[in-house]
Amino acid sequence: MKITLKDIAKDTGLSISTVSRALAKSGKISSANVKRVFESAQRLNYPIVSNMAPFKLRNSIYIALVTTFHPGEFYASFFNGFTKAAAGSNIHFGLFNVCMENDCSFRFLESIKKNHFDAAVLFLPGLSKEDYMQILNRVDDFPMISAAPIATPVMDSVVFDNYSGGHLIGKHFHERGFRKIGIIQGPSSELETHLRKNGLIDYCEQNGLKLVMKYRSDYDISSGKGAYEHYKNLEEKPEAIFACNDALAIGFIHSATRDGVSIPADVAIAGYDDIPICEYQNPTLTSIHTPYEILGKNILSHLTAQLSDKDSSISHSGSTKLIPVTLVERESTAKSQIRRALGS
């Protein structure tokens, strides 16, 4: 549920206009009421940007989550994982959207250090080694960690085991008796796309499965629909398809079922991320479960360890910690559904 000024006003007993002035640091308002507003905002997880914060609560830690947003449920699930990981602690988050295509974005990252924040988590999958080097050079001696995989790690990272996710999908398809496999890839600029793809391809090659479809796309529903148009024009069609995120799978299913294609009887499909809608999609969607709360806890452990060692400067060894993923089977690949549809 999105927290608004109205919620803070109700929590504090102040008017919405007073809450707005307190957060914006404008107009006449007592310091006691300012404190009440900010304490309420932090308690309710209202997003407070750095230039709003006139003070820091004693013994509190402020962490900036920095990413580039795209429409869909993934980013809500990602942020929710961090808030759950920090529940009951003195850690507070600010969520920021940046586009890492110009120097202004690098200057923004520099400003985080100067404006009340104690550390930063970067989820910017498209960055290169050179981009990370520039960030580390410009934002020195400041706790930072990447939640996205880095091809040549120069910044410490905690990430999901994307390769294993693709491998698990291959194994799942194999166990269901599928031999002709397809893949709907994400953006080629993002390392996680290649890791998921390579996990699947390696399993297929090692176990005699045939990859008969590859489709490259963006991580959105419309790209999934485009993948279906590609699929239906293939002479040799896959029996099962791995979509490299759930939005791609949902787009494919929407177009396929509209055309009368039965899933999983005609073609099975599985996604990646296990966003909440997977349980309500028709058919429900098999997906790789990525435990955001566990990711958040591991990242917070790393950052708080750096923050507690005040006598040492911040250094990065380029270490990478992998968070295990699991497969959640649902109707889109379920063996019972396949048998029932085939009349066996």
Give the residue ranges of DSSP H helices in the chain: 5-12, 16-24, 31-43, 74-85, 103-114, 129-138, 162-175, 191-207, 221-232, 246-258, 292-308, 335-342
pLDDT, tens only, 73-96? 888 899 999 999 999 888 988 888
Reduce the DSSP state of residue 323 to 3 states and report it. Answer: strand
* Higher pLDDT, residue 73 or 343: 73
pLDDT, tens only, 132-171? 998 888 888 889 999 999 998 899 999 999 999 999 999 9
pLDDT at residue 184 is higher than 90: yes
Query: Which residues pair with residue 92 across a beta bridge?
Result: 62
Mean pLDDT of the chain: 88
pLDDT at residue 335 is higher than 80: no
Of all helices (H) and strands (E), which one includes residue 86?
none
pTM metric for this prediction: 0.79
pLDDT at residue 49 is higher than 70: no
pLDDT at 238: 97
d(CA 188, CA 39): 43
pLDDT band for position 103 (cuts 50, 70, 90): low
> Of 24-38, 177-191, 199-213, 285-299, where does mean pLDDT reach its minimum?
24-38
Query: Which residues pair with residue 193 across a beta bridge?
Result: none
- Burial, 102: exposed, middle or buried (Cβ in 10 Å; 0-12, 13-18, 19+)? exposed
Residue 86: what are its φ and ψ, rounded to 5°? -95, 0
* Higher pLDDT, residue 257 or 39: 257
pLDDT at residue 316 is higher than 80: yes
pLDDT, tens only, 150-161? 998 899 999 999
Identify which of 105-114, 142-151, 305-314 has the greatest average pLDDT. 142-151
Q: What mean pLDDT do residues 37-58 have?
A: 65
pLDDT at 318: 87
What structural domains does the chain harbor?
1-46 (1.10.260.40), 59-155+293-322 (3.40.50.2300), 162-290+327-342 (3.40.50.2300)
pLDDT band for position 343 (cuts 50, 70, 90): very low
pLDDT, tens only, 225-256? 999 999 999 999 999 999 999 999 999 999 99
* Higher pLDDT, residue 48 or 92: 92
pLDDT at 48: 62
d(CA 152, CA 146): 13
* Higher pLDDT, residue 88 or 275: 275
pLDDT at 233: 95
pLDDT at 342: 44
pLDDT band for position 282 (cuts 50, 70, 90): very high
